[in-house]
């Protein structure tokens, strides 16, 4: 039998205090919120060891997984990361100051720029992504591989149907 958690306590309290409502959705919502908080804290620890925050990691990782030449327009980054243009500019500025990305003129658009990983940025993201994946394996280790896949599929189904 599984141990009880705080969410079980909350649900039991609502059942007692408001027997007229079904608090069962709180089991999923509460655990997702709590899991997200734990994951965010743990990943922040990984990123900060490399002098990054989560947003900077997202930009570097997006450029890296785009493949050689690890270059995208700010608009392509915006679409992938779902940010405002001001937030994106700020992230790029910070990464450029750290010599992890560089801006260059877009040969296909006189007014446009391209954002590319520098050699230092490529080396860093390749290190960080290994730590990121290792932390993910550690965080998910209480679940068997089949359970991890089932959870991933269920969360995907939920997100797709929430239009995100």
Q: What is the pLDDT of residues 24-38, one digit of tens each?
A: 999 999 999 999 999
Query: Would you kindly state where each structural domain of the chain is located, as residue ranges?
Result: 6-154
Chain-centroid distance, C-alpha 161: 19
* Average pLDDT of the segment spanning 85-111: 92
Under 8 Å between Cβ of 22 and 49: no
Average pLDDT over residues 141-156: 97
* Half-sphere exposure for 84 (CA within 13 Å, toward CB): 3
Average pLDDT over residues 133-162: 96
Q: Does residue 79 register a pLDDT over 60?
A: yes
What local confidence, expressed as pLDDT, does residue 152 receive?
Answer: 97
Which tokens hold the place of 2? 């599984």
pLDDT at residue number 163: 75
- The pTM assigned to this predicted structure is 0.87
Q: What is the pLDDT averaged over residues 119-127?
A: 98
Mean pLDDT of 68-93: 88
pLDDT band at 11 (very low <50, low <70, confident <90, very high): very high
Considering all CA atoms of the chain, what is the largest pairwise distance in Å, rounded to the nearest integer? 66
Nearest to 74 by CA among 104, 107, 111, 115: 115
* Whether the predicted pLDDT of 164 surpasses 60: no
CATH fold of the domain at 6-154: Arc Repressor Mutant, subunit A (1.10.10)
- Own/partner contacts of 87-95, CB < 8 Å, gap of 24 or more, are 87/55, 88/59, 91/55, 91/56, 91/58, 91/59, 92/59, 94/56, 95/56, 95/59, 95/60, 95/121
Strand partners, 115: 72, 103
Q: What was the pLDDT predicted at 1?
A: 72
Handedness of CA 90, 92, 98, 104 (dihedral sign): negative
CA 124 to CA 101: how far, in whole Å? 11
The winner for highest mean pLDDT among 37-51, 77-91, 100-114 is 37-51
Which of the residue ranges 21-35, 72-86, 96-110, 143-157 would you say has the lowest mean pLDDT?
72-86
Pull the structure tokens for residue 19.
């027997």
Mean of pLDDT over the chain = 94
pLDDT at 137 over 70: yes
Cβ neighbours for 94, distance < 8 A, ≥ 6 positions apart = 56
């Amino acid at each position: 039998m599984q141990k009880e958690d705080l969410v079980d306590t909350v649900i039991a309290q609502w059942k007692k205090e408001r027997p007229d409502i079904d608090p069962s959705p709180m089991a999923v919502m509460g655990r997702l919120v709590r899991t997200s908080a734990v994951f965010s804290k743990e990943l922040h620890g990984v990123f900060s060891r490399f002098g990054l925050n989560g947003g900077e990691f997202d930009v570097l990782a997006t450029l890296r997984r785009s493949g050689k030449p690890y270059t995208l327009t700010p608009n392509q980054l915006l679409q992938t990361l779902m940010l405002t243009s001001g937030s994106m500019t700020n992230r790029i500025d910070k990464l450029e100051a750290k010599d992890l990305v560089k801006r260059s003129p877009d040969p296909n658009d006189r007014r446009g720029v391209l954002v590319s990983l520098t050699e230092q940025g490529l080396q860093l993201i390749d290190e960080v992504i290994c730590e990121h994946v290792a932390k993910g394996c550690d965080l998910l280790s209480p679940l068997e591989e089949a359970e991890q896949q089932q959870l991933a599929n269920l969360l995907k189904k939920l997100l797709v149907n929430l239009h995100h």
